[in-house]
Chains A and B, each alone.
Chain A
Amino acid sequence: EAEVAQSPRYKITEKSQAVAFWCDPISGHATLYWYRQILGQGPELLVQFQDESVVDDSQLPKDRFSAERLKGVDSTLKIQPAELGDSAMYLCASSLDAWTSGRLSQETQYFGPGTRLLVL
């Protein structure tokens, strides 16, 4: 069964360092999402890609976070510099797309195993 792949699974870093996370979506899924999940809360969308284009990055802290999906397949999320408050689980998800009622809507999102980040 196809799965979303993420690496690394765990990352410990010191504040002010740079970190990067990688995601490979399910083959054929045009839409890719990066979420941040703080312990005890629901996931919060950071950025959404449709193929290689950013669709929604309104909740991405752009002063320190960046994301790219250059060839429209795998994606990288970077934090530079990391801060203590960035400690969280970073989840990648992907979905097929469908046109519903004249607008593009996403089908079920399938999540990867996540990268647990600890900033010391």
Chain B
Amino acid sequence: ELKVEQNPLFLSMQEGKNYTIYCNYSTTSDRLYWYRQDPGKSLESLFVLLSNGAVKQEGRLMASLDTKARLSTLHITAAVHDLSATYFCAVDMFPRLTFGEGTQLTVNP
């Protein structure tokens, strides 16, 4: 069964703190995406990770991929309120992209 699990599903954190969102998946894949979704809006592409050990960084967000462990992480550094959103990982599990349930992040002042 194709499964993508994110942890945690809900995350409330203070501005300035660091935290990591985890994405585990059930079958072999070497392509993983992270998306951001604001309430009532569509999905915005953040990162695409294409190989084992891939690391991408944009601002306060850093994503990594370990294909052997079937695990990706999204690390948040010194969170700010503007990062409040729902974050989805999506794994290329041929023939389709399978999304996780999403992690709803709230950054409090």
Contact = CB atoms under 8 A, between A and B. Distances in A.
Question: Which applies to chain A's interface (DSSP): helix, strand, loop or mixed?
Answer: strand
Chain A, interface size category, equals 20 to 34
B42 A106 contact: no
Interface stretch (B52-60, B61-69, B73-81, B98-106): B98-106
Nearest to B45: A108
Interface residues of B, number: 22
Question: Which applies to chain B's interface (DSSP): helix, strand, loop or mixed?
Answer: strand
Given A41-B101, A111-B42, 12 more contacts: A42-B88, A43-B88, A45-B97, A48-B95, A93-B43, A105-B92, A108-B48, A109-B33, A109-B45, A111-B45, A113-B41, A113-B42
22 contacts: A40-B101, A41-B102, A42-B90, A42-B99, A42-B102, A43-B99, A45-B96, A45-B97, A48-B95, A48-B96, A55-B95, A56-B96, A91-B43, A106-B92, A106-B97, A108-B33, A108-B45, A109-B97, A110-B45, A111-B35, A111-B43, A116-B40
